[in-house]
Amino acid sequence: MSSPENVYTLSLKSYKDVYDTLYVSLCIFAKSYVDNLDIAKDLVQDVFIKVWEEKIEFKNEIAVKSYLYTSVKNKSIDFLKSKRYKSTDNMSVKDIDALNKDSFYLKEVVIEEAASRIEEAINTLPNKCAQIIRLSIKDLTNTEIAQHLNISVNTVKAQKKIAYKRLRPLLKNYFVLIAFAFDSTH
Q: Is pLDDT at 78 greater than 90 in this prediction?
A: no
121 vs 102: which has the higher pLDDT: 121
Is the pLDDT higher at 102 or at 116?
A: 116
What mean pLDDT comes out for the span 50-70? 81
Mean pLDDT, rounded, of the chain: 75
Coil, strand or helix: which one is 8? strand
57 beta partners: 9
Taking alpha carbons only, the member of 46, 136, 134 closest to residue 82 is: 46
Q: How far apart are CA 118 and CA 107, in angstroms?
A: 16
Q: What is the pLDDT of residue 184?
A: 40
Q: What is the CA radius of gyration of the chain?
A: 20
The structure's pTM equals 0.49
Residue 169 banded pLDDT, cuts 50, 70, 90: confident
- With a cut of 50, say whether residue 81 has pLDDT above it: yes
Show the domains of the chain with their CATH numbers: 1-100 (1.10.1740), 113-186 (1.10.10.10)
In this predicted structure, the answer to whether residue 150 has a pLDDT above a threshold of 90 is yes
Residue 151: predicted pLDDT: 92
Task: Indicate whether 3 pLDDT > 60.
Answer: no
Q: Are 102 and 117 in contact (CB under 8 A)?
A: no
- The confidence score (pLDDT) of residue 82 equals 74
Mean predicted confidence (pLDDT) in 127-150: 87
Coil, helix or strand at residue 11 = coil
The residue-averaged pLDDT of 167-175 equals: 70
